[in-house]
Every structure is written in structure tokens, then in C-alpha cells.
Structure 1
């Protein structure tokens, strides 16, 4: 029987909306959590980026660095080490900020800022690196609150704008690469459309209205070149075969608007999702079923991610024993108004 249970919680002091574990070998005990809050006095959208190190039980959550900045909407590590270990952050004043991880100090250092929007009222809402499978010619794609998508070229710590396109009538909530063919990326908007765009021809490959509300989440599969998933305010997760995009191959309705989707990185046999007011879930992308639910957080669940540490290291860190016939994973979840981040273990029968 599957189980997901909290093993540690921490109040960050600001509304938490994005959490990401470092995928780089040797630094997989690190994660970042971004916050976003409207200052009632100044009216500014403020935020913080927390660098957290996983400690030994019982002191699992250790804040090692806190960086003040405009409100954070999304943050992502490059999937591989480029010339350094990079983290990109998009914020509430239309900026993308680039950080390197100082490996000896285990601290983040800001190396680049670029404003992508024409005013301070347009928010950058999401980002993705192209490095999920192919590591050369790194790019970043971002989306904004006016429906624009911005494609950026990464070059040794610098970011250059390749092009920008108006692809959605309202907020473009999500942008994500096809990791197997990085000429292609996906976008989802408040206009209920899921779009696939090819940068080589500068136009969309397809546009789908399979969702009945705003499309808020997309992630491509790391292990299957034809597989990706999308999520929406309509509470549905759709699983797609890229070769047959007109109709999804299956769906799961865990409950609640879907905000983020994360394939389990080692096998891609499960998908974690945070569903806003209805908690977080682990779902089966092959059986199209909900495996387990998680309701530790009493506010909007906006962030979820899998830890990349191997199972043996995870168990040693959290002082738990291996279970025969079970696979153990570690996740981080964050929520908005209660300002919490939690660490949770997920155990399930080995397939």
C-alpha cells in the first residue's frame, strides 16, 4: 500500500510558491524555495529565495542562505552542470535572474539579470531549461502574464533573447521544453489552450483545447521521447503521446486545480502534482490512477519536487529503514498563505 507522510515542516515567514531540488551529483542535498508576497505598505511584490540543505534527522531543513528579491514566481536548476551549476529565477517585475552555486561554500551567487518585459506590472510566470536530455546548446523558455513567450539563449553565464511571441490571449501560465527535441516547446494559457511551438519555423505545431480551463502545468518525460503531461484549473492531468497529439492517451482527476507536475526523475513511473486548495498527489501515468494523496498543508499547494538523492542515501539521512518490496522517495512541498515547506517520504510497491 502506498503512503506519503510528512517528516519535517518549516515556516518560511513569507508565502511560498516554488520549490526545486538540485539535480547535480554531489549537491542533491540542496533545494531552493521561492516566496512571493504583496507588501501592504508599499504595494510592491516582494520575495525571497531560500537555499536549503538537507540535514540529518531530526534537523532535516536547514536554511543556509536567504536572498531578498522581487516576488519569485518560478525557479529551476539547469539539469546538468554547464560551466558551473546554474539556477534561473523569474520574478514579479519581469526579470530573469541567473545564479551559480559556489560549490565549496554551497552558496548562490547572482551573475546575471535581464528584464524581459516592457513594464514592471508584467510578471514572468514560469521557466524551463532545455537540458533535460540533451546538454548542448542550452536554452531557457519563459512565459509572462500578458501571454508572451520568451526564448533565451544561454552562453557561459549570459542570457540573450532569441525571440518573443504572443501566443496566448491572457496569462501564459506555463512554458516547457520537449527535452528530446529542444527546437520544440509547449505553452499553456488562461485561454484554455495548450500549444506546441517550433522555433525553427516560428509558429505553432498544434493547439489543443482538450482542457476546459486555464492550462497551468506541462512537463516532458525524461525517459520516453514521446510522452508528456499537462495540467489545468479544470482539475485534470492529461497524458499525451507527442505523435498523436489530437487526443490525450489518458487522464487522471486527483482533485483541485493542477499547478505543477513533476515526473519522478529516475524512472518516470510516477508523477507528483500539487493541486492548489486540494493538497498534493502522486499519480500513475500508465494506469491513470491516483496512488496517494498528501494534505499536510492547509493552504494553496503551489510547489512540489522530487529529491534526486538515491534511495539508500535518502534512508540514511532521514533515519528510516528500507522496506522489503517498497520503493522510497523523498519530496518537498510548499504552500502559500500558511508559508510552509515540508519534506515528505513516498513509499510504494516496486513494479
Structure 2
């Protein structure tokens, strides 16, 4: 035994001495890292992202010089390969870099209106992989020659842009491989466009593409480029953004001047783009009408898609919140609601869609899970956090109030409540305590929304015609950080673009308005308070400003970015939203209407893009757009759940009503 121990001890001593004197040394890069990169080893990733902290940039004038093109090739080869989803449908596109009159540009095409898929969309040249293609690069070169007439010999292939395949896939399920190529001294006059595939061709200077101010990059969403002659979004914007930020690495140059060749995006849509809107993005059925998938025979006040779009929830004057499977539109859950006064005024899924948070005209907000477990959050207990009024007044106001609107933060830990006692409540659901109870308005707070996912900044809209900006980090004595002036009647609803800058509001002055949080009044004492300009009851009467000979004057201090007119805000608190970022790049805003329709506006021009009419006369109080698909759902004020979507549904596929509730 002693001999064995001695051998073991000697071996351990030898190993220790070897490791201490001969440390393992990784090879220097660049070397042939194809094996490492393919197998996702740490050295490969370190080599690929070694310049992440301070990536070297190249002056704009040298962006497509021979030396920098060589750098681009090396960067493309060093990007790590990502794990690809298996797909039997493969395609490739080329990101065509080019030089025009000595200035670097990128080429884009507008797909023909005759194409079956993606008609009228901005894209890169490319297409499906064919059996005769020897490699993915050949697919790009072949398609570019077929579409634009550019010979393969004129294209300098720099490499494959390796991206996250879970994101780089078209809405038709095709796995797309982007290839970066460069064309020296590009001359558009020598091209022959294939009219069956390409509507038109345009170029955008790299000087614009590298400037962050022209990009909208929402968290966890596809970016959008806004400074070209056409809006660039979706898969094209995604791969372009990666190429610019990870591969080209060009300095922004002069930020104050833009090339004269640039056309503003805020223009009337061209014919091919209108076709794309009507046939690809706007959720129309074949006959252009909504399909009633359920009749709950009582008023529906609100609805919402889950984050993944698989579920849709409706709530109103029923004794339950109903949840539908959006693939079949069959009811899959009915969650009980308690202590409802008149109606459920607002309801939202938690971020994981496992529970619903809802309010009524009481001071208690409740949450119910799919298993039926309930939680109650009493806002009346927050009188100690009220920031204005006497103690008796605070006590009275903290008990006798209801909730008109709710907003749940991105983490699902807090909610905002707009109340009937002119206040805004921020409540922590994890501790069941109110963070603050701000009495900052002179009338009911009908609308509330977080400006972004941080939960720090939010806005409130009231019947006092004002919208106020709050920051929880600097709140004191119910004093807002800013006031937005422009509406001439009470605010009914607000929703945010979730970018920390823009939000949209609906109001009883029959308008929706786009706002920028950076453009507000900071001195509330300087605001004209001669509003509202008409005395009327919006629940029963016509808006006085609609009558002939009556002046509907704009607010002299209007701070809004844009105003949208064309929908009716009467009878109830009509809602308004931005269209989804994933499928439309938030190019539109859409609103319900008291005239029984959904009105869709171009967010940049304020033009009415479409009007979707209900099958029967009703009031469209709320309307929701599917986060990923061309589907739009309206919980009708008279109990109908209406669905607009591209696919034609047969009567057998429509869910049958199962509720026995009487009319209220």
C-alpha cells in the first residue's frame, strides 16, 4: 500500500510541476478557425467578437476602398455560425453594396405587384435555391442577373452574413441566407429590370444608413429605417442592420447634412405600396368584411392578444373573462370576475399570459390565473401615499373611486391605474402596496400607459383635456415632469410605441394625436384653461363641432406631432393603438369608432389607409391587431367578437356562442 501511495504522490507532484511551468497557450488568431467556429467553441467566439467593446471604424469616404473591402471579407469569415433551424425551403439574398459617383450606396428593389408573395415590399435581390445552383453564392448571383440584369462577373462576393436563423426567416417560412457583394461604379442606366419580379430599383446612400437617428430599434423587435424613399423594415431591415453594425463599421460622417437625392419617407404611398398594404399587411378577409366568431350578448369593453398571439381575451359586462384559441377561435378558458360594478373597465394579460389583471368602477384591481386562483389589490389602502389635499379629503378620495384604465409593466410586477378621483396609481403586485397615488388632474383619468418597458416613465390622460408625463424617480407633490397640450376635449385612451419617445391618444374632440415625450410644456401655469370648448354629453349627443356653422377650433398651444381625423369618439372610451412592429414596422395607427368601423391611418401622413366596417351596425370600442399575423379583432360594444383576417373561413370553422347571458 505504501508503494502505491508513493507512486500516486509522485504523479501528482509531476502534474502540478508541469502545469505550473507550462501553461496552456491558445493559438493566435487569425488562423483557420472554420472548425472552431462551426462547433461554437469559446476561442472561436472570442476571436469573432474580440473587437466588440471598441470596434474600429473606417471613414465614410473609404467605406468601399480595396483595403476596407478586404476587412469586410475577414469580418464576414470571423462571424460565428449560428445553429440553423431545419427548413426544406431555402433562399438567398444579396446585400448589394455599390459606388455611385464615388459615394458608397446600397441597392434595394421594390417587388412587383404581380408577385405571389411579398408584393410591393422593399427587399434585396434574391430568390429560392434551385437544383442547379452549386452554392448559395451562385443562387444570389443568378437571381441578381435575372432580376436586374447585373452580370455575375461584375459582383465581388465578399462573404456570407451569418445571422441568427431563428430571426432571419420570412413570414412564409423560408430560411434566407444573406450574402454581401460589391459592385464598383454602378450605373443604373445599363440595367434591364425584370418587370415580372421587380417594380422599381432605388439606392440609399451609406451616409444615411449609418446614422442612428434614421433608425427605429425597439427592444427585441425588428428595426425600421425611415430616411429612404421607401420605409425599410422586416427581414430586409434586420439583415441590413446587422451588416452595417457588425461588418461595415463605417463612421457616421457629417450628421447635419443629408444627400440631396434623399426623398422623405413621409409621402403618399405609391401604387405598389398600396397594394402591399391592402393584400399583405392589412387583415382583410376575401370579402373585406369581418367574421363574427362569437356572440356574448352583452357589452364587450376590452380585448387583448397574448404576447405570442396564440390567445385572445375579451372582457365586459359578463361574469367571466373569456379566452380564445386564435387558431380556431374556440373558447378555451372562462375566468371568473368578482365585484364588478357595471362592467370590467379594463383587462390585460400578464406577460406570460398565465393570468389576467382586470379592473372595474371600484378601488380594487384583481388578478385571476387560468387555474382560477385570485388576488386582490386594494388601491384604497394607498391614502397615505396621496400627494395633495387635506387628510380628510385624501381619505375620502382614496376610498370612493373606481378605475377606468390599467397598464401592466413589461415584467408583470406593477400596474398603473387611472381613476375616477382624478388620480394615477402605481401599484406593486409583488408586495401588494401602492408605490404612489398622484392626484394630478382636475377630472377623471381615463387613460394611462407606460412610455417604455422600464416602468419609470408613464403618461396619464384626463377629462381635463391634458396629458401629463410622470417619472417615478423624481416625483414630488404630484408635480408632473411635463404637460402635453392639444386636445380640446377629454382624453379617452392612450397607447405607447414602446420606444420611450412616441405615444398616441384618442379624445372626445374626435381626433387622435401623435406625441413626442421630448416636446411638452414644463410650466403648467402657462397653459390656457378655457377648455373644453363645448359642453356636451358624449354618451348620448352628437359632437357640436360636427354641426354646420360651428367652429371647431384647434388648441392655440397644440404640441402634438400629428393629428388624425376620420373616426367617431362617442358613447364610450374609444381606443387607439400603433400597428405591430413585427409585421408592419408600426407604420400605421388604428382606432375603433362609434360608427361601427375600424379606421387605419398612415402614421407619417395622417391619411386614412383603410376603413374596416362591421357586418352589422355597432360601436367599435376596442380593436386589436395580431402581433405577428394579418389578423385584427374587434370586441364589439354590442357583444359581437369580430375577426378580420386574410384566410377565408367556412361556417364550420367559426366558433359557436356558448354564453346564455341576457342582454344588459
The answer to whether structure 1 residue 261 and structure 2 residue 576 are counterparts is: yes
4+ aligned runs moved over 6 Å, structure 1: none
**Which protein is richer in helix relative to its size?**
2
In structure 1, C-alpha distance between the alignment counterparts of 2:579 and 2:457, rounded to whole Å: 22
Match of 1:16 in 2: 300
In structure 1, C-alpha distance between the alignment counterparts of 2:413 and 2:566, rounded to whole Å? 34
Report the CA distance between 1:8 and its aligned residue.
3.2
CA change 1:303–1:47 in 2 (3 A) is: farther
Ranges in structure 1 where 5+ consecutive residues have no aligned partner: 37-45, 101-106, 312-328
Shift of 1:68: 4.2
1:33-44 alignment, distance < 5 Å: 33-36=314-317
Q: TM-score, normalised by structure 2?
A: 0.42
Name which of 187, 194, 197 aligns with 2:467.
Answer: 194
Where relative contact order (Cα < 8 A, 6+ residues apart) is larger, the structure is: 1
Show the 5 A alignment for 1:1-351.
1=275, 2=278, 4=284, 5-23=289-307, 25=308, 28-36=309-317, 47-56=319-328, 60-62=329-331, 64-69=333-338, 70=340, 71-78=343-350, 80-81=351-352, 85-100=354-369, 107-117=370-380, 122-131=401-410, 135=411, 138-155=413-430, 159-202=432-475, 203-222=479-498, 224-245=499-520, 247-257=559-569, 259-265=574-580, 266=582, 267-296=585-614, 298-308=617-627, 310-311=628-629, 329-336=630-637, 338-345=638-645
Q: Deviations over 1:107-126 (max 9, x none)?
A: 35333112324688632111
Contact 2:336 2:372 (8 Å CA) reproduced: no
Contact between 2:484 and 2:560, CA under 8 Å: does it hold in 1? Answer: no
C-alpha offsets along residues 54-83 of structure 1, whole Å, 9 cap, x if unaligned? 243xxx3435325243120001123x33xx
Separation in structure 1 between the aligned mates of residue 489 and residue 436 of structure 2, nearest angstrom: 28
Given that 1:52 and 1:65 are in contact with CA atoms closer than 8 Å, whether structure 2 keeps it comes out as no
SS in 2 for 1:188: strand
Mapped partners of 2:434, 2:641: distance in 1: 33
Q: Which runs of 5+ in 2 are unaligned?
A: 1-274, 381-396, 522-558, 648-664
Aligned equivalents of 2:298, 2:378: Cα separation in 1: 24
Distance 1:174 1:288 in 2: 22
Shift of 1:220: 1.1
Larger % of strand: which?
1
Q: Report SS of the residue matched to 1:243.
A: coil
TM-score (norm 1): 0.77
Give the 3 Å change call, closer, same or farther, for CA 123–129 of structure 1 in structure 2: same
Q: CA deviation at 1:18?
A: 0.5
Shift of residue 335 of structure 1? 2.1
Q: How many residues align?
A: 297
- Once the two structures are superposed, residues 146-197 of structure 1 have per-residue CA deviations (whole angstroms, 9 ceiling, x without a partner) of 2111101232xx5321111112222110111111552111111111111111
